[in-house]
Amino acid sequence: MPQLDFPGANPQGVELAQRLFVIHDQMRRDMDEFRRLVTAVVDGIGGDAAARGRLQGAMDAFRQRDWQRILPRYCAQFCSFVHGHHTVEDASMFPVLQKRNPDLAPRIKQLVEEHGRLVEHLDQLQQMIRLLPGDPSLGPKMLAKVGEVAELLSAHLEYEETHLTPTLVRLTYADIA
């Protein structure tokens, strides 16, 4: 967990920061799981019997033929979670932080722009997943896109935590009401 003992930190602000880190950590875990699932599906489609066996193992409770139902749902849920979180940040958290610390304006601008780029990449990924059953050759492109999304998301979360935490820990519940 990033540093929380900044000058001026208060228990309410620290709690807000901890909640943000919990959400970000869940996003990281979900991204890792999504990458494993996509890798298993692509390996299972284009791979040999051993690769298909890994697909079965990775999906535990699912039968191999169910990936066409499971993967789009998982992707939709993950994309919705990321988008919903970023929508709340853009509309609620960022304005409060910028009001408290106007020097954050360029960093917040960058974060909002990154939110837009992530939406574009996640939309592209969802489209690839929809097309994959009819075009298995999309598998390698989809794996590359998942890797790209994972890198963008990871860098984004790290940047956000690093640059917003010193101000976030100074907030009170009254600031966000």
Q: Which fold has domain 11-176?
A: Four Helix Bundle (Hemerythrin (Met), subunit A) (1.20.120)
Model pLDDT for residues 65-111, shown as the tens digit of each residue: 577 778 888 999 999 999 999 999 999 999 999 999 999 999 999 99
- Please report the pLDDT score of residue 55 as a whole number: 52
Residue range 110-152, pLDDT digits in tens:
999 999 999 999 999 999 998 988 888 888 999 999 999 999 9
pTM tops 0.95: no
DSSP string, the chain: ------TT--HHHHHHHHHHHHHHHHHHHHHHHHHHHHHHHHHHHHS-HHHHHHHHHHTTTS-GGGHHHHHHHHHHHHHHHHHHHHHHIIIIIHHHHHHH-GGGHHHHHHHHHHHHHHHHHHHHHHHHHHHGGG-GGGHHHHHHHHHHHHHHHHHHHHHHHHHHHHHHTT--HHHH-
Spell out the domain ranges in the chain: 11-176
